Amino acid sequence: MTRLALALVAVVLSSCGGPGSMSGTVAGIKLDVKDSIFALIKNQQGETVGMFLAMSDKPDACATVKANRQPKNLTATLFSMVRYTDLGTTLAPDVGDYTVINAQPPRGGNYAGALFTHTDTNCTSTISQAAATGSSGLIKLTSLKGEANGYASGSYDITFGASDKVTGSFNAKFCDIQQLPTNPNCE
């Protein structure tokens, strides 16, 4: 491919927003986003009660999750978002602001959890739980289409641990998974 062709591809990808970005580090580790996906979380009655979003430094995140695999040497940020009524029942996710907390969410409002992960060749986390957990911040979900060929986009400003502040954006593709893997194979 010529330099001109490569430059045009870069311009097209940047105008589409790419999968997202992250500025800043967590425990001294940077995330170079190669893919981002989201899935809707459903209860036993099939009602949508939340959303899971992952930004990864590895491509093909949806296929990897569906195959119950976890890549070695993975760096990723994971968000979960849920909306609560004043009575404590959950609502389907929607566009809006989600407050990042590291506790049981109170009733009424939009809340998010955030986790940063960096694994070694054995898929073991190299960051302490305290440093890897989002302690405060805000996720702004600006668009959401939870169906085939759907997307979720927005921005975030989050503090992980005591003081690692990161900001960025996401343009995640819908990944139709029934449940999140609980014990993926390390590959």
Residues 56 and 78: their CA atoms lie apart, in Å, by 9
Task: Give the confidence band of 12 by pLDDT, cuts at 50, 70, 90.
Answer: very low
User: pLDDT tens digits for 142-182?
Assistant: 999 999 999 999 999 999 999 999 999 999 999 998 767 77
Rounded-to-10 torsion of CA 140, 168, 163, 101: 20
**What is the value of pTM for the model shown?**
0.86
Residues 60 and 74: their CA atoms lie apart, in Å, by 13
Pairwise pLDDT comparison (129 vs 44), residue with the higher score = 129
Task: Give the confidence band of 37 by pLDDT, cuts at 50, 70, 90.
Answer: very high
Q: What is the mean pLDDT of residues 27-50?
A: 93
Name the average pLDDT for the chain: 88
The three-state secondary structure class of 123 is: coil
pLDDT at 15: 34
* For the chain, domain boundaries: 19-181
- On whether the CB atoms of residues 160 and 137 are closer than 8 A, the answer is no
pLDDT at 88: 85
Least confident of 59-68, 70-79, 101-110, 143-152: 101-110
